[in-house]
Structure 1
Amino acid sequence: MNAFLEVVDARVLYGQNEVLKGVSLAVGKGEFVALLGSSGCGKTTLLRSIAGFNAPASGAIRVDERDVTRLPPDKRGMALVFQSYALWPHMTVDQNIGYGLKLRRMPKATIEARVAEIKKLLGLDGLGARKPAALSGGQRQRVALGRALAIQPDILLLDEPLSNLDARIRLTVRHEITALQRRLGITAVHVTHDREEAMVMADRIVILNNGEIAQVGTPEDVYNRPASDFVAAFMGAENLIELSAETAGDRMTIAAGPFNAPAVIPARGRTLAGRLNARFRGESVELTEAGDTIPSGADGTSLKLAGIVEQTSYPGGLWRHVIAVGSAHVIVDAPRSFEIGKRVSIRIPEEALFLFPKQ
């Protein structure tokens, strides 16, 4: 991939606090990249550094091989859509969308034509004379997006633009932004803390943790092949138990424990040994009553745990169970409810089990 946008070993300081710790990232032309992470991980700082609002203490930012590290925001060929929309309340929809063009002293007829084109693109026809207070949240977000697109930026930067929308509208606008980005072939960098949002919108996901990149990959990569215990947990594999294992050749042997049967599974290139953290998602396992016909020994395809049901709930679709496995508690979904106090077996398929050295 030829990089259109490059961040090279960027370090950003807030006072003495190092917020970005030598981050490097390459984004291809026309690619949609999501910066994903929890609050304080550095994702918004990275976006603002790309936009020109934060100056790196060291490192470089390049667009199409041009160094823009010290250029002001309006000289970078980028547009930023804010979380708060940041619309001018006293201006109409037309005036808000055309604001950037007016600053560039473009002819009035050109501005009107471009605004009309953007409104048609975003389904805002008929709303041009309204002010933001007369619009719904989804319409305001479309106006903010239209203002950004009107100046025909090389790169579109999105700072959690959907977080103020209710859940139903968020799904619609999420689809609209993705379809629009692909239709226009625009390069986009999107900040979000919402895992599903990043998964469905982005070509690649950049997971940040404590000012560093934890993993970069396609949605499928980071979901099915997490590079670390942190990434696995962040991508939904929050259930955690401890195991002991040894690896020999292409086989990994998991030792029997007080609450797990022994297992022999493919090593898949891993050379893990000793105490391990094992993570899995609650929807990717099979739950049965203890004593049902799941084999107790190693079968080469799964790991079995023994536990006791402590809580049940019904969030919709499946029953959710909190199960005590020794001193650990895991959450498991199943198509039927198991009684509180019931002894159960949890079967974790090998491909759904993520193993990492215990730190």
Structure 2
Amino acid sequence: MTGQPINIPSLTTAWELPGVIQDPLAPAFFHNNRLFTVGYNETNLNAIDVAARKVTWSYGDIPNVPVGSGASVISAGQSLIEYNEGDRIRVWGPDMTLQHTLTLPAAYHKKGIRWGLEGMRQVGDLAVLLVKEGVVAYRIPDLLAGRLDPVWDHQYPQGETTNQHLAIGVAVSAEHDLVVYGISDYDDGPKRLSRITLHAVTASTGTRQWEKEMDRMDGALLLWTALDIEKDTIVALETASAELSALNLDGTERWKVPRALCPNGGTTLMVDVSAEDGQVYPTPNGDACQNAYDLQTGALKWTFYPPKENAFSFGGRPLIVRGVAYLSNGYLFAVDTRDGKVLARSARSNPRATRRSSTPLLEPGTGNIVQLGEDAVAYRPVR
């Protein structure tokens, strides 16, 4: 509970790289055993050789390109496919040599909303991109060869509102051959209506499966949704209400939590959600606790409250490793996923590690837990 003693075991530091500059909304990622970070305001992409403790490659100084968030890159062998979440795909070969720059059709171009929830997902040999008003699928071998030939394309038809409609979240499941994406409708005209709908598509063929309205409210607001798929369950977290929902694969509702916030929480400008090992972890960015819900029933399993001296926001998604949730709010906490009890905590706080970019990473090979803030710090896992 809040105010618990701070004399809990400390995580063991494996290595530290001071002064790593990272955009607050774009999580870093590993590719070919190098740590890639996105420069502040997305001006450059850096590759860090962790063993050598230095930047070994950098590209950029072009505003808004690349984004390189964890949701918008695909590692394809030695190559990297990067979607800038706006208007282009770039294909990087071995040693990060630029192989292709592919410009998307004008109808797909976004205007840089960039809350970190747009992006690209891999399902089988397909790269599924969330574009301005829907989703499009390309074969990864085609992209690697420099060909921009869509396998299928779904652009949202004109809906009940007539002013704006934007695609706002995507999740995929290779097991179920499924793509689910969200659409936000909002109308500045006489109706003054906003709503969110979810849409399901068969990944391999592009066949439409179902559509479901998730949220509706008066007022012309750009609503947002975050999505994930775990086993036979689709989970969705909405911005305006912080409503957490679980759907069956056919789109029918399984359960709903009206407000998946901490007590006295209320910051829902950005949202994220993840489902893993039978539990759901909503992240209404800015909340100073972490809830865990049962995937099948929606029952609240536990709430982790950091010590009151460390009660800062959890902005990133938890990293789940061998029954431990690693949570970053400046400090990095190791929490038992069975009951929410704290197992260990970093000895010091890492400034700026309260944002979406502080989502912890698993270091390939070593299994270390990497936290990004003003510094990059790796810790030994507790299990």
Q: Do both proteins adopt the same fold according to a TM-score greater than 0.5, normalized to the shorter chain?
A: no
Query: Hey, which of these two has a bigger chunk of helix by percent?
Result: 1
TM range (shorter): under 0.3
TM-score, scaled to structure 1: 0.25
Query: Hey, which of these two has a bigger chunk of strand by percent?
Result: 2
TM-score, scaled to structure 2: 0.24
